[in-house]
Structure 1
Amino acid sequence: MAAPILHLLVAAAACSIATAAPQEHLITALPGFDGAFPSRHYSGYITVDEASERSLFYYLVLSERDPATDPVVIWLNGGPGCSSFDGFVYENGPFNFEPGSTPGGLPKLQLNPYSWSKVSNMIYLDSPAGVGMSYSLNRSEYKTGDLKTAADAHKFLLKWFELYPEFQSNPFYLSGESYAGIYIPTIADEVVKGMEKGAEPKINLKGYLIGNPVTDIDYDFNSFVPFAHGMGLISTDMYENVKATCGGTFWGTVDDLCQENIDRVRWELKDLNVYNILAPCYHHPQIQEAVFRHSSLPESFRRLGETERSFPVRKGMAGRSWPLRAALKDGRVPMWTGIGGRSLNCTSDELATIWLDDEDIRDAIHAKSKSLIGSWELNTARLDYTHDTGTMLSYHKKFTTLGYRVLIYSHIIPIISTIGS
Structure 2
Amino acid sequence: MALFVSSVFSFFLLVTLPLLTLAAPESALVTHLPGFSGTFSSKHYSGYITVDEVNGRNLFYYFVVSEGNPAKDPVVLWLNGGPGCSSFDGFVYEHGPFNFELGGSSGSLPKLHLNPYSWSKVSNIIYVDSPAGVGLSYSKNTSDYYTGDLKTASDSHTFLLKWFQLYPEFQQNPFYITGESYAGVYVPTLSYEVAKGIQRGDKPTLNFKGYMVGNGVCDTTYDGNALVPFVHGMGLISDDLFQEVNNACKGSYWNPVNDGCENSLDKVDSEISGLNIYDILEPCYHGSEIREVTQKSNLPLSFRRLGETNRPMPVRKRIFGRAWPLRAPVRDGRVPSWNELGSLGVVPCMNDEVASTWLNNEAVRSAIHAQPVDSIGEWELCTGKLDFHHDAGSMIKYHKNLTLLGYRALIYSGDHDMCVPFTGSEAWTRSLGYNITDTWRPWYTNDQVSGYTQGYAHNLSFLTIKGSGHTVPEYKPQEALAFYTRWLTGQKI
Normalised-by-shorter TM-score class: 0.7 to 0.9
Query: Hey, what does 1:349 align to over in structure 2?
Result: 352
1:139-173 deviation per Cα after TM superposition (whole angstroms, max 9, x unaligned): 11111011000000000000000000101100000
1:177-218 deviation per Cα after TM superposition (whole angstroms, max 9, x unaligned): 011111111111111111111110000000001111111111
Answer whether contact 1:43 1:58 (CA < 8 A) is retained: yes
Structure 2 residue 2 is the aligned partner of structure 1 residue 10: yes
Structure 2 residue 139 is the aligned partner of structure 1 residue 136: yes
- Rounded to whole Å, the distance in 2 between the matches of 1:131 and 1:174 is 19
Moved more, 14-23 or 344-353: 14-23
Query: Hey, what does 1:25 align to over in structure 2?
Result: 28
Deviation at 1:307, TM superposition (A): 5.8
Structure 2 residue 312 is the aligned partner of structure 1 residue 313: no
Moved more, 30-39 or 323-332: 323-332
Alignment partner of 1:385 out of 380, 384, 388: 388
Deviation at 1:388, TM superposition (A): 0.6
Query: Hey, what does 1:298 align to over in structure 2?
Result: none
1:103-134 deviation per Cα after TM superposition (whole angstroms, max 9, x unaligned): 43111111111000001000001000011001
- Rounded to whole Å, the distance in 1 between the matches of 2:23 and 2:224 is 46
Amino acid at match of 2:239: T
- Rounded to whole Å, the distance in 1 between the matches of 2:353 and 2:194 is 36
- Rounded to whole Å, the distance in 2 between the matches of 1:345 and 1:418 is 34
1:300-325 deviation per Cα after TM superposition (whole angstroms, max 9, x unaligned): xxx99x96756661543999864538
Deviation at 1:20, TM superposition (A): 1.1
Structure 2 residue 110 is the aligned partner of structure 1 residue 120: no
- Rounded to whole Å, the distance in 2 between the matches of 1:258 and 1:286 is 37
Structure 2 residue 153 is the aligned partner of structure 1 residue 157: no
Amino acid at match of 1:332: R
Moved more, 56-65 or 384-393: 384-393
SS at match of 2:414: coil
Moved more, 388-397 or 165-174: 388-397
Structure 2 residue 190 is the aligned partner of structure 1 residue 222: no
The verdict on how the C-alpha distance between 1:369 and 1:414 changes in structure 2, with shifts beyond 3 A counting, is farther
Alignment partner of 1:332 out of 319, 331, 334: 334
Deviation at 1:234, TM superposition (A): 1.1
SS at match of 1:414: strand
SS at match of 1:219: helix
Deviation at 1:38, TM superposition (A): 0.1
The count of corresponding residues between Structure 1 and Structure 2 is 398
- Rounded to whole Å, the distance in 2 between the matches of 1:401 and 1:80 is 28
Deviation at 1:330, TM superposition (A): 5.1
SS at match of 2:32: coil
Deviation at 1:21, TM superposition (A): 0.6
- Rounded to whole Å, the distance in 2 between the matches of 1:192 and 1:226 is 35
Amino acid at match of 2:334: R
Query: Hey, what does 2:452 align to over in structure 1?
Result: 415
SS at match of 1:396: helix
1:54-75 deviation per Cα after TM superposition (whole angstroms, max 9, x unaligned): 0000000000001111100000
- Rounded to whole Å, the distance in 1 between the matches of 2:286 and 2:34 is 28
Amino acid at match of 2:247: A
Structure 2 residue 243 is the aligned partner of structure 1 residue 206: no
Answer whether contact 2:227 2:327 (CA < 8 A) is retained: no
CA RMSD of aligned residues (A): 3.0
The verdict on how the C-alpha distance between 1:416 and 1:37 changes in structure 2, with shifts beyond 3 A counting, is farther
- Rounded to whole Å, the distance in 2 between the matches of 1:205 and 1:215 is 21
Q: Could you list the runs of 5+ residues in structure 1 that have no partner in the other structure? A: 1-8, 288-302
Moved more, 11-20 or 383-392: 11-20
SS at match of 1:227: helix
Structure 2 residue 47 is the aligned partner of structure 1 residue 44: yes
The verdict on how the C-alpha distance between 1:148 and 1:334 changes in structure 2, with shifts beyond 3 A counting, is same
Deviation at 1:326, TM superposition (A): 7.7
TM-score (norm 1): 0.86
Query: Hey, what does 2:194 align to over in structure 1?
Result: 191
Identity %: 56
Answer whether contact 1:206 1:405 (CA < 8 A) is retained: yes
Answer whether contact 1:74 1:175 (CA < 8 A) is retained: yes
- Rounded to whole Å, the distance in 1 between the matches of 2:149 and 2:100 is 32
- Rounded to whole Å, the distance in 2 between the matches of 1:77 and 1:102 is 29
Answer whether contact 2:86 2:135 (CA < 8 A) is retained: yes
Query: Hey, what does 2:490 align to over in structure 1?
Result: none
Deviation at 1:263, TM superposition (A): 2.6
Answer whether contact 2:217 2:330 (CA < 8 A) is retained: no
- Rounded to whole Å, the distance in 2 between the matches of 1:417 and 1:80 is 29
TM-score (norm 2): 0.74
Q: Could you list the runs of 5+ residues in structure 2 that have no partner in the other structure? A: 11-21, 305-310, 416-449, 460-493
Amino acid at match of 2:36: F
Answer whether contact 1:408 1:418 (CA < 8 A) is retained: no
Amino acid at match of 1:48: V
Higher RCO structure (Cα 8 Å, ≥6 apart) = 1
Query: Hey, what does 1:294 align to over in structure 2?
Result: none
Deviation at 1:335, TM superposition (A): 2.2
